[in-house]
Structure 1
Amino acid sequence: MSATTAVRAGAGPGSVGRGRSRRLKDRAFTSFLWACGVLALLPLVFITAYVVAKGFAALNIDFFTKEPAVPGQPGGGIVQSFIGTGIIMAMAIGFSVPLGVLAAVYLSEYGRGKLASAVRFVAEILLSTPSIVAGAFIWALVVVTLGNFSAFAGAVALTVLMWPIIARATEEILRLVPTDLREGALALGLPRWKVILRVVIPTAGSGIFTAIMLAVARGMGETAPILLTALGNEFINTNPLQPTDAVPLRIYKYARTPVLSQHTIAWGGAIVLLAAVLLLSITARVLANRQQRRVR
């Protein structure tokens, strides 16, 4: 009797039953994991649907082009909030991107001593610091010093929250750049700083942009730091040294009023803010996947 025949002969009903049991357990576990994934998505789906249902009626031309109406009067918009958010975020990006990227370059390319450990420690602490604490600190440091609430103070507060995200994420991206690229460029006689500027950073470009998108998504939705530093404004203001409105701040203010029309506008602002954050997050995810394939 051959070995194959012996194995077949020994394959009785018990072994067949055990095989069927294993397949059933595998399918059950797979179904359980699939259900867990669906449950993880449900909160986002429900939140998005609820926000859209409550605020869709506010989305019209006036909403995006006009200043707030007199309380109790229909109509009006929050154009000053959109402009203010753009000004604050533009300054925050201008402050946090160079700081975060340069810190990441130092940590990944040069940082081996106590200073690098201190920078990483500070970045980790700031990542876990409540945003209201950062806002209170900048209020005491900038608002009190200048004697006025301003978009500039709001941008500085967001910078405190954004640069650690950029620094830590960019550091990890730079570490994924193959060492062979660095060594090859150095072998050609390029100085270290040129290797970083011409080889390392361009190779990690999409990953760095991903880190920036994640930081922008975090800063765009912050309310407490803006409340303590920019204060808000009922009118369009383009002076960075004057009180300025922002979308999260307008949502907070309108949510606290008894005027139903302002509640609807607040929900409309939430739709725009949620859409912007989702778009930034999806873009960051797509770019991150592309960066991983490129590095491999």
Structure 2
Amino acid sequence: MSHAVVNDKRPSTLRGASLPKWSPWAIAAGSIALAVVIGLAGGLDSRVQWGLIAGLLFLLGTYGIAARVEGRRQAKDRIATALVWVAFLIAIVPLASLIWATVQRGTKVLDVYFLTHSMGVVADSEAGGGIYHAIIGSLEQVGLATVIGAPIGILTAIYLVEYGRGNLARAVTFFVDVMTGIPSIVAGLFILSLMLMFDMQPFGFAGSLALAILMMPVVVRSTEEMLKLVPNELREASLALGIPKWRTILKVVVPTSIGGIITGVMLSVARIAGETAPVLLLVFGNPFINTNPFEGAQASLPLYIYQQYSQSAGSTAAYDRAWAASLTLIAFVMILNMVARGIARWKAPKTGR
């Protein structure tokens, strides 16, 4: 009798019915088709409206079908998953649309000539010209801002995590929080006030100082979070061997979190690379090539985009140059992030098997 019970191969009745794996795709296809029908019948011309209707129908359909087949408890789980997917699509569609529009419009004049020539004597209303002078200006301004802001931000984060105690640490944390939300124009006005005090003319390094102010709080916050993720056991093991704390930080803590630190620095670089207001106030723009950031007005990619687009009302050439420069700026930020990921993987601590 017991042998028959042990060898019983009948399926368990404890598990209820479940939808097949392809059911979300079928519900999504049906929701899209029904949304198109509703949009056409209702005279809705916007694809965005069609997408919102399809998302709502997908949520309702998922819950209704899952509740009927699997029960309300499982239906709630499926509706939560569906909400995550719908939110993801709502976030990714504008980004994909932006990239598509930039690539479509920016490739009209983006070529080797555009990248290797400046505006020079070319008027904004005329065809021709390029962004070589703006690329040089952006690289120098962002590079100098990174040289200034990244070390200060990293050292500040190390102080707050490893040494920060008492009123000084609380004051530093407070000012970092305030600087995180500071408008870029305020940083530009601060540097501009110093320039007016010393009767200085616009030059590239002034823009770098304003960009460094915007960069530092981002570096501090990202580095601080990465340092907090380092297990305390690693610090304690190093200190137990008689290694000084400064050397433990330099040889154990920082190498362990170097990947996240570099990623945070690159994110801050990506943020300041697109700032226009401080550059407009302090650098002023220059259609000619100026490789010296410490003397004379200088161009930059965000400022070039603003100036060209502001002149695009009566000129198709300026409009096309603005989109081409925008595509170049996006590619610049993407390359920075790819380089950061490569450095992070290269410098990440290796774990043995």
Give the number of aligned pairs: 290
Distance 1:183 1:20, change over 3 A: same
Contact 2:255 2:347 in 1 (8 A): no
CA distance in 2, matches of 1:71, 1:105: 48
CA distance in 2, matches of 1:193, 1:29: 48
Contact 1:143 1:153 in 2 (8 A): no
Q: State the partner residue of 2:210.
A: 157
Computing the radius of gyration from Cα coordinates, the structure with the larger value is 2
Matched, 1:248 2:299: no
Matched, 1:274 2:325: no
Offset, 1:196: 1.0
Which string of whole-angstrom CA distances, capped at 9 and with x for unpartnered residues, describes residues 20-57 of structure 1?
Answer: 44444433442332122111101101111111222211
Counterpart of 2:261 in 1: which secondary structure?
helix
User: Which consecutive unaligned segments of at least 5 residues does structure 1 have?
Assistant: 1-7
Matched, 1:203 2:259: no
Offset, 1:18: 7.7
Higher helix fraction: Structure 1 or Structure 2? 1
Distance 1:62 1:210, change over 3 A: same
Counterpart of 2:84 in 1: which secondary structure?
helix
Which string of whole-angstrom CA distances, capped at 9 and with x for unpartnered residues, describes residues 83-131 of structure 1?
Answer: 0001101110110011001101100100011111111111111110111
Contact 1:143 1:229 in 2 (8 A): no
Offset, 1:144: 4.6
Matched, 1:112 2:168: no
Q: State the partner residue of 2:28.
A: none
Offset, 1:214: 0.7
The more displaced of 24-33 and 106-115 is 24-33
Equivalent of 1:137, from 190, 204, 210? Answer: 190
Contact 2:286 2:299 in 1 (8 A): yes
Which string of whole-angstrom CA distances, capped at 9 and with x for unpartnered residues, describes residues 212-233 of structure 1?
Answer: 1011000101000111111111
Offset, 1:67: 0.9
Give percent identity, aligned residues only. 40
What amino acid is the match of 1:264? D
Contact 2:137 2:293 in 1 (8 A): no
Q: State the partner residue of 1:124.
A: 177
Contact 2:109 2:324 in 1 (8 A): yes
CA distance in 2, matches of 1:63, 1:124: 41
Matched, 1:96 2:149: yes
Structural RMSD (CA): 3.1
Matches within 5 A, 1:207-222: 207-222=260-275
Q: State the partner residue of 1:5.
A: none
